Structure 1
Amino acid sequence: MISLTSPVETRAHGWPAGAKLAALCVATMGLFSLTHPALQAAALAVTLLLYALPGWRFFKVGLARLRVLLPFVVLIMVWHIVTHDIMAGATVTLRMMTAVALANLVTMTTKLAQMVAVVTWLTTPLRRLGIQTRAIELGIALVIRFTPVLAQKGQLLAQSWRARSTKRVGWRMIIPFTVLAIDDAEHVAEALRARGGL
């Protein structure tokens, strides 16, 4: 899941979060039953149609959030070209794009509080066994919230690199990106401690 709730209101915004997450699980499992690239391409086309139904603005924002997949798509395809297994590479790539696009669609039409409520409900049996689940619920909320934030910071780092160097953005980005992620984690930890922690 790589997006926050879309400001563009759609009918899906009013649907129950649990139903959307359950449908996402079923759809993702269904993708793994499709073994031919043509079927995966059809599934991706249907997903893109779902993005287009609410209008151009929603479609544009949704696709913009999916750009973070581009490096992974290139890496997977290059590897499968080198290993002479292009069909498998196309299947894996299309499946990944569709699965992430569907997850992104769910997060774009579901408020974070609604997702946390679903997780709280799912972990009810664990609480009855005496297991503290607040950390699990908070962890899931933080992952959903900070994944797009870190992706945006990664894009800004890449833009800064291109503005200062003629060399391609490569492995040198890993260290500053890691430092940014750790810095954000420390700020969040301090904020949690200031509010009583877990």
Structure 2
Amino acid sequence: MISLTSPVKTPWHSWPAGLKLGLLCVATMVLFSLENVFLHLAAFAACIGLYSVPGYVFLKAGCKRLVFLWPFLAVIVIWHAITGTPVEGTVIALRLLTAVGLANLVTMTTRLSDMVEVVKMLLSPLRVLGLKTRPLEIAIALVVRFTPVLAQKGRDLTFAWRARSPKKPKWQIIMPFTLLAIDDAEHVAEALRARGGI
């Protein structure tokens, strides 16, 4: 599995995980409360500014991880162009880009173990009630870790299809992608069982 944390050291690496996740929640709520397109442009510019502070390498890596949003942005822009509400569509697209960009920034500058510790702390009231929270902690960590892994495997399947056919891949890669995801899940389950399970 690949590491989500950026090897490029940034000022944000030294911030506590709980603080960064709290600020992310506040920023997301503010984004959803704004309707002015210029305020959203300013928020997106500020997000890009945060990526730019550590330098070009970090900025390029961060932007590369946002490329997967283009199909969603295309659907939003096309739909709002058809319905005659381009400003609203621009607001939604900028909101999506900024929110995911900030979340990605937190992920790139926070170790997974630190995020799990924050989740563990937040779930502590449930443990007082006698509920087991360990499976949920592991599940959250696996989702965060495997999302980019599966996205990369999807891209690899797409490249493999294009190398063998002039046609664009559509439904044909769904089955092999599903089998890859199931295979990864089985390997992880076996690894968890070998280590005592959860």
TM over 0.5: yes
User: What is the match of residue 26 of structure 2?
Assistant: 26
Aligned counterpart, 1:141: 141
Matched AA of 2:52: A
- Take 1:168 and 1:79, find their aligned partners in 2: how far apart are those partners? 23
Distance apart, 1:22 and its partner CA: 0.1
Letter in 2 for 1:33: S
Q: Show the counterpart of 2:36.
A: 36
RMSD (Å) for aligned C-alpha atoms: 1.4
CA distance in 2, matches of 1:93, 1:173: 28
What's the counterpart of residue 167 of structure 1?
Answer: 167
CA offsets 1:108-134 (integer angstroms, 9 cap, x no match): 000001001101111111001000000
Identity in percent: 60
1:100 CA drift (Å): 0.4
Alpha-carbon distance, 1:64 to partner: 0.9
How many residues align structurally? 196
Match of 2:192 in 1: 192
Tell me what 2:94 maps to.
94
**Residues 82, 169 of structure 1: alpha-carbon distance in 2 compared, 3 angstrom cutoff:** farther
Structure 1 residue 75 and structure 2 residue 75: aligned? Answer: yes
Q: What secondary structure, in the 3-state scheme, does the structure 2 residue paired with 1:166 have?
A: coil
2:151 corresponds to which residue?
A: 151
The Cα offsets for residues 48-81 of structure 1, whole Å up to 9 and x where unpaired, read as 0100010011111111111111121112222222
Task: For 2:32, give the aligned amino acid.
Answer: F
AA aligned opposite 1:98: T
* Mean CA deviation greater in 67-76 or 56-65: 67-76
* Structure 1 residue 189 displacement after superposition: 1.2
Query: When the two structures are superposed, what TM-score results if normalisation uses the length of structure 1?
Result: 0.94
Distance in 1 between residues matched to 2:84 and 2:158, nearest whole Å: 31
Give the residue type in structure 2 aligned to 1:123: L
Where 1:159 maps in the other structure, the secondary structure is helix
Q: Summarize the Cα distance change of 1:119–1:156 in structure 2 as closer, same or farther, 3 Å threshold.
A: same
CA shift at 1:164, angstroms? 1.4
Q: 2:63 matched to 1:63? A: yes
Distance 1:84 1:177, change over 3 A: farther
1:179 maps to what in 2? 179
One-letter amino acid of the structure 1 residue matched with residue 36 of structure 2: H
TM-score (norm 2): 0.94
Structure 1 gap segments, 5+ residues each:
none
Letter in 2 for 1:159: F
Question: Given residue 61 of structure 2, which amino acid in structure 1 is its aligned partner?
Answer: V
- Counterpart position of 1:117: 117
Higher RCO by CA contacts (8 Å cutoff, separation 6 or greater): 1
Please list every run of 5 or more consecutive structure 2 residues that lacks an aligned counterpart in the other structure. Answer: none
Report the Cα offset of residue 173 of structure 1.
2.8
